[in-house]
């Protein structure tokens, strides 16, 4: 057994357990097993083309009566079958999420098996919506049993093992050192994956503006792009993306913010309210241009998707306008992994059951660097905002329980917002618990005839092990959505220009709201309502993926089981 003399882990002995167990089903490779035989779906060597009818209803209220007119619009989707060779450049690569994601991809790639106190553990992608959950395709006619397939099999998608990893960090620690510092993964896994992590090297220097993150992060900031010229910083980041793409012969690069939560940026007319104003503000090195906004602009100008995994308002109006102008994809905000995901399910359950939540009190404490940064008030406010809005659409959907907003009420008053449960969020930094976050929620509700119900939930989870599969899902979906185009199909007898979108296939709208399932505060097309309901978010994604192969969305009607 050789000794580890240089401290890098590069000559750590190979595991005697490596490759003993078969590859976990969530990490297995499966070709393209789904073929739809239908007039609505066609296959070529390059594309899957499908026809889809988007059904809805227009509703008018006339003297208290609801007049409903069903609508149906025809679309075609075209999905490129060739999966792009994809790089994932993470901002905050050396943090808990970035180092954990890198180590677990490498463990899966090399099928590294390790010991825990419970026994032998194999790598997997449990926690990934795409790799570890399924959708119902239909039923086997001979048995009437449902047939389910992994979501990742519905359309050709990047396998996580194939992602080329890179990124930036204000800390210059090598990735093997960063993994050790994070204290997330079991020691035996760290020991075995360290040589592969060491080969990744250290992150690229990142952008550090002390005003945007907590002062307690300054000690980590030893790997920063020098100077204060934000235009020069923008060009530096663009060059980094181009170099990484060329160096690894990539077709696509996903830029992903998994760094510290920033304070909110002030929205200032003439500074960040339009694309041109924002670009001018960058040239002027305006103090309200945040690092995350700079990374977003760099990715947009390079034509690469940018995903914001933190709660700050990276996507100021000027960023959205720039993405629209360049047709570059953006998505965010804030990874939804534990307490908020559960809240979006539980609040919907209560309201849909006809129970009226009067208050929701959420408390959590954690001891990782994310918790350390959030212990500063400006950064906590960003997180509080993203966590607090999660029940809004569910409350607004039930005017029987909650009084709707009054149109003539003064702006900013409770009447103008409408009735809403009291909702508070508390986050505390407790170093001793490390990455093991504790979350406590109390739901206090009104029930039948003035009764009251109190439900308390305690949730303990390893924060980074819940968050990192979401990064994979978001990156993989972002790549897929760059390969999907659509066009509207004119109604019978209408001219080619009679329907918006008719003609050539066009890319989707730049704001990728289909990513909402993984995000606390989903970014949506300006002027449209945010959907926080987890069930609706998943159903939307599932329906869209099925539409791209010419299948209808999920139906739990099961009419054949309810008639003779």
CA 75 to chain centre: 26
Question: Could you count the other beta carbons within 10 Å of the beta carbon of residue 347?
Answer: 26
Residue ranges of alpha helices (H) inside 7-126 are 96-109
Distance CA 513, CA 478 (A): 11
Alpha carbon separation from 411 to 268, 406, 454, 478, 528 (Å, rounded): 20, 10, 32, 37, 20
- Here the tokens at position 99 are 């180092």
| Of the candidates 561, 461, 552, 548, the residue with the CA atom closest to the CA atom of residue 77 | 548
Dihedral pair phi/psi, residue 149, rounded to 5°: -135, 155
| Strand 422-429 relative to strand 356-366, pairing | parallel
CA 289 to chain centre: 23
Helix (H) or strand (E) holding 480: helix 463-482
Question: Could you count the other beta carbons within 10 Å of the beta carbon of residue 537?
Answer: 21
Longest dimension (CA), the chain: 84
How many CA atoms, within 13 angstroms, populate the side-chain half-sphere of residue 456? 3
- Here the tokens at position 196 are 């592969």
Residues contacting residue 65 through CB under 8 Å, at least 6 positions apart: none
Active site residues: 334, 383, 437, 520
| Of the candidates 245, 236, 240, 325, the residue with the CA atom closest to the CA atom of residue 282 | 236
Angle at 541 between CA 535 and CA 542, to 5 degrees: 85
Distance CA 443, CA 142 (A): 46
Helix (H) or strand (E) holding 417: helix 414-417
**How many H helices and E strands in the chain?**
15, 19
- Here the tokens at position 131 are 């790799």
| Strand 134-139 relative to strand 146-150, pairing | antiparallel
Contact present, 381 and 264 (Cβ < 8 Å): yes
| Of the candidates 330, 329, 291, the residue with the CA atom closest to the CA atom of residue 312 | 291
Residues contacting residue 452 through CB under 8 Å, at least 6 positions apart: 358, 444, 445, 446
Total number of residues shown for the chain: 564
């Amino acid at each position: 057994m050789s000794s580890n003399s240089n401290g890098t882990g590069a000559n750590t002995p190979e595991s005697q357990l490596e490759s003993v167990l078969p590859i976990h089903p969530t990490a297995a490779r499966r070709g393209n097993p789904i073929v739809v035989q239908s007039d609505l779906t066609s296959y070529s060597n390059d594309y899957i083309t499908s026809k889809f009818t988007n059904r809805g209803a227009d509703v008018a209220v006339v003297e208290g009566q609801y007049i409903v007119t069903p609508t149906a619009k025809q679309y075609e989707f075209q999905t490129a079958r060739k999966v792009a060779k994809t790089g994932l450049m993470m901002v905050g690569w050396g943090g808990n999420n970035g180092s954990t994601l890198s180590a677990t991809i490498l463990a899966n790639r090399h099928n590294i098996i390790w010991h825990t106190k419970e026994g032998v553990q194999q790598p997997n992608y449990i926690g990934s919506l795409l790799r570890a959950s399924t959708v119902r395709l239909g039923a086997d006619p001979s048995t009437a049993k449902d047939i389910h397939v992994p979501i990742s099999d519905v359309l050709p998608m990047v396998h996580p093992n194939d992602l080329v990893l890179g990124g930036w960090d204000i800390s210059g620690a090598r990735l093997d050192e960063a993994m050790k510092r994070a204290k997330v993964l079991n020691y035996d896994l760290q020991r075995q994956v360290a040589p592969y992590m060491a080969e990744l090297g250290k992150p690229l220097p990142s952008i550090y503006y002390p005003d945007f993150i907590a002062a307690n992060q300054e000690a980590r900031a030893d790997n920063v792009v020098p100077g204060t010229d934000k235009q020069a910083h923008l060009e530096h980041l663009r060059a980094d993306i181009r170099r990484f793409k060329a160096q690894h012969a990539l077709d696509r690069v996903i830029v992903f913010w998994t760094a510290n939560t920033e304070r909110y940026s002030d929205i200032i007319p003439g500074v960040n309210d339009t694309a041109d104003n924002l670009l001018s503000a960058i040239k002027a090195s305006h103090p309200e241009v945040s690092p995350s906004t700079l990374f977003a602009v760099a990715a947009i100008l390079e034509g690469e998707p940018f995903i914001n995994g933190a709660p700050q308002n990276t996507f100021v109006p000027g960023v959205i306008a720039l993405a629209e102008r360049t047709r570059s994809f953006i998505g965010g905000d804030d990874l939804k992994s534990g307490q908020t995901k559960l809240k979006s399910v539980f609040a919907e359950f209560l309201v849909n059951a006809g129970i009226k939540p009067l208050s929701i009190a959420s408390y959590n404490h954690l001891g990782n660097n994310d918790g350390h940064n959030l212990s500063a008030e400006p950064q906590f406010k960003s997180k509080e905002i993203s966590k607090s809005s999660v029940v809004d659409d569910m409350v607004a959907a039930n005017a029987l329980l909650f009084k709707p907003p009054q149109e003539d009420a003064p702006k900013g008053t409770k009447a103008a917002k409408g009735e809403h449960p009291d909702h508070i969020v508390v986050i505390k930094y407790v170093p001793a618990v490390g990455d093991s976050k504790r979350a406590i929620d109390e739901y206090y509700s009104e029930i039948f005839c003035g009764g009251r119900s109190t439900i308390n939930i305690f949730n303990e989870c390893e924060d980074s092990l819940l968050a990192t599969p979401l990064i994979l899902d978001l990156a993989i979906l972002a790549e897929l959505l760059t390969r999907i185009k659509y066009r509207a199909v004119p109604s019978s007898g209408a001219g080619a220009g009679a329907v918006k979108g008719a003609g050539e296939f066009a890319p989707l709208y730049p704001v990728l709201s289909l990513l909402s399932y993984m995000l606390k505060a989903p970014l949506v097309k300006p002027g449209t309502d945010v959907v926080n309901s987890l069930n609706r978010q998943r159903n939307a994604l599932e329906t869209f993926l099925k539409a791209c192969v010419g299948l209808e969305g999920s139906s739990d009607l099961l009419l054949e089981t309810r008639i003779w």
